[in-house]
Structure 1
């Protein structure tokens, strides 16, 4: 799933390539992806791209044709969604329900430059909103403070008010926005903390380490990602990961085997040597198999 660094990089890419270009046509290949109806997506035709920004893990493209009459095309890419930039595109409108294309934006002229919103797989969770104010999007209205906007004191106060496992807290968007499953694994590994540590019971020095890890992991990922072509961002993300999605491989820090805890529809990875004193965490799925 795209997280804060990738969404920041996609917004940067759009600011470099789409700014001040008018919308020539909108191709909607999936009606179910669009979660709003007023205004319709056709209202973007003729409007000019004036910006691109990020709200947590939401990507916003701003359009305007008159003062104080802006619209925001906001996308939550979910697990398998992506934005793909193109210099040319077919002028033939796509057939609904065929392939991964959800929505295409033609800029300058039909068949010219623009971007596609796509989603692989059969579970369609990508969501598109066209609103006058980003706060009209329910997910944005519920967001906590941005992960990179928190000071050390604010981060400490945030942890002190919660009792859940630290892994759970880091990915809860209503508490802190922008971090998902992959980067939370990397942050905890860098901070040498167990994913099961209680958020509000961390020692001050552990909070210091966790905050430093949060800042370093995210800023390093943003620095690596910004400036990359949109098509290269997924590979860039994978290349920078040390434990996430590396189950069974040696930890690059201590050499211990990276392990996994699995749930019904997700999993996370960690290094016992770096994070849990060498002890494997309970994996309910594995426990059921070996009874």
Structure 2
């Protein structure tokens, strides 16, 4: 590895985004550099756009085994660099990213020739039977507090599509219930307002308390900054289930796609900047019957401007 002052690297991206991903990128470059022939600056120039795209556009968590997975790299090269130089330039960038992946994840060498890229592999959504099982699990908790938290957890994941981190960071004051339903205000880097699916409104409306606006919405007494809070809660709960925030999010996305939710509102509610982040979920969406397909296209009416 060549030393060239890569730690002073400053990319030409929005400063807010760089502030959020900087430490993740720097740690990855520092750890990977000794195992590659590239300079730190060359690795920064590859790792930064990948991380930005995966986090900002594809809504992936800042985790090495996700960001630097070969499937993520190939999808980034295939659909995230449509305006990026020549095929040779993309191949160069891809080569650097694969070396980072090998260094950090002990990943096997990928084929040297670019091949058609599919979507990265999202967690599969829960089936209707799975959701019934999850609801039964929540009701079966042995105390009111645990039942309330279990129901809130399902409502925030299956009813609003929040990530694990967003569920853990949500406050009671971020939940608003009125005659038109329940809205969740998500703070942070993907700040947005999410309307909750009707069937999950009750569990969240019950938690609204004007006197407890700064109380955590899930597990009221937790100390904060515990990324394993959901896993700990599920592991200690009555009844053994396999509950993952990613699968709840996938279930929420697929339900909206199958219901025909308009694209722009869905993107806004999911905190996405580009519709391509939804591509990887389409393999889970059931094909509508021919009558629905025809009527949907025939009866489409634009909102008056």
TM-score normalised per structure 2: 0.28
Higher relative helix content: 2
TM-score normalised per structure 1: 0.28
